[in-house]
Amino acid sequence: MEKVALTEAFATFDEQWSPRVAGELNGQAVKLAKVEGEFVWHQHDDADELFFVHDGALTIELRDEPDVHLDAGEFVVVPRGVEHRPVADEEAQILLFEPSGTKNTGNVESELTQTEEKRLE
Amino acid sequence: MEKVALTEAFATFDEQWSPRVAGELNGQAVKLAKVEGEFVWHQHDDADELFFVHDGALTIELRDEPDVHLDAGEFVVVPRGVEHRPVADEEAQILLFEPSGTKNTGNVESELTQTEEKRLE
C-alpha cells in the first residue's frame, strides 16, 4: 500500500494537460495534472468530474452559469453533460477524480486529446 | 455548481470522527472529517477508501503490513477487505473518497458508528 505525496508526485513530470493516474478505487481514478492556458471546451456525457487545486489557481468556465474560480485547497464537481473549459493564467497543479478511463477532452477530439492513459512513475 | 473551500468547510463543524459529505459524483462521496485519537479496527468488504490529509497528520494502522503515515498533502487508498485503524496523535483534518453510503466503522458496530449520513452545511 503506497502513499502518494502530492508535492513530490507533481515534481516527477513537467508535461501540461497530460493527467497522470496516481491511484484507483471503486472504478474511479485519481489523476494529477499540470495545466496552464486554455483547455478545449468539452463535456463528459457519462462522467461527473471533480477538480481540486493543489497549487495555483484554476477557473472552470461554463456555458450557462457563472465561471467557478478555484484557488489552492478548493474543489468543485462538474456534473456529467455540462460543457466546461478549464483555464489557468499561470501553471496550476490540480487533482482530478473521475471514472477510470475518462478521456481528458471528453466528446471532443483535439491536439490536447490524450490517447494513452499515463501513470505516475 | 458550488465550490468547496476545504479550510472554510472544516471551520463549520467541530465534531470528531463524524464525516460530512461535501460532494458526490459517480456514486462516490467526498467526505470531510476531523479526527483525533484512535478509531476502531474495521474493514469495508465492498468499498475501497481513500484518505487524504488536509491538515495535521494521520497514521493508517494495518494488521499485516507496515503502518502508513500521512502528512498534509498526502493520500493513500485502502483496498476493500483490508482491516485498518486510523490514528491521529493530534486533531487532523482529512478528506475521504469512498462509495456513497459507506459506513464509517465498516463491518464493526461501535460507539463511533455514525448512524445517519451528515452533510456539510
pLDDT one-digit tens code per residue, B59-118: 999 998 999 999 999 999 999 999 999 999 999 999 999 999 898 999 999 989 988 889
Helices (H) and strands (E) in chain B, counts: 1, 9
- Residue B26: which of A2, A24, A48 has the nearest Cβ? A48
pLDDT one-digit tens code per residue, B28-49: 999 999 999 999 999 999 999 9
Amino acid letter, A57: A
The residues of B whose Cβ lies within 8 A of any Cβ of A are 1-7, 23-28, 30, 47-50, 54, 60, 62, 65, 68-71, 73-79, 82, 97-99
Which residues on chain A are in Cβ contact (under 8 Å) with B49? 25
pLDDT of residue B117: 87
Structural domain contains residue B1 = no
Do B26 and A98 make contact, defined as CB atoms within 8 angstroms?
A: yes
Query: Rounded CA gap, B121 and A102, in Å?
Result: 30
Question: In this structure, what C-alpha cell is assigned to residue B63?
Answer: 494488521
A66 by Cβ neighbours in 10 Å (0-12 / 13-18 / 19+) ranks as: exposed
Structural domain contains residue A7 = no
Structural domain contains residue A10 = no
Structural domain contains residue B39 = yes
Structural domain contains residue A32 = yes
pLDDT of residue A69: 98
Task: Determine the average pLDDT of the residues in A45-68.
Answer: 97
Do B30 and A4 make contact, defined as CB atoms within 8 angstroms?
A: no
The interface predicted TM-score of the complex, written ipTM, equals 0.94
Residue in chain B nearest A65 by alpha carbon: B1
pLDDT of residue B37: 97
**Structural domain boundaries, residue A44:** 21-110
Task: Determine the average pLDDT of the residues in A61-82.
Answer: 96
Structural domain contains residue A88 = yes
pLDDT one-digit tens code per residue, A10-45: 999 999 999 999 999 999 999 999 999 999 999 999
Which residues on chain B are in Cβ contact (under 8 Å) with A4? 74-76
Do B26 and A28 make contact, defined as CB atoms within 8 angstroms?
A: yes
Task: Determine the average pLDDT of the residues in A46-63.
Answer: 97
pLDDT at A95 over 90: yes
The enclosing domain of B101 has a CATH number of 2.60.120.10
- Residue B4: which of A54, A75, A82 has the nearest Cβ? A75
pLDDT at B26 over 90: yes
Structural domain contains residue A118 = no
Question: In this structure, what C-alpha cell is assigned to residue A28?
Answer: 474511479
How many domains does chain B contain in total? 1
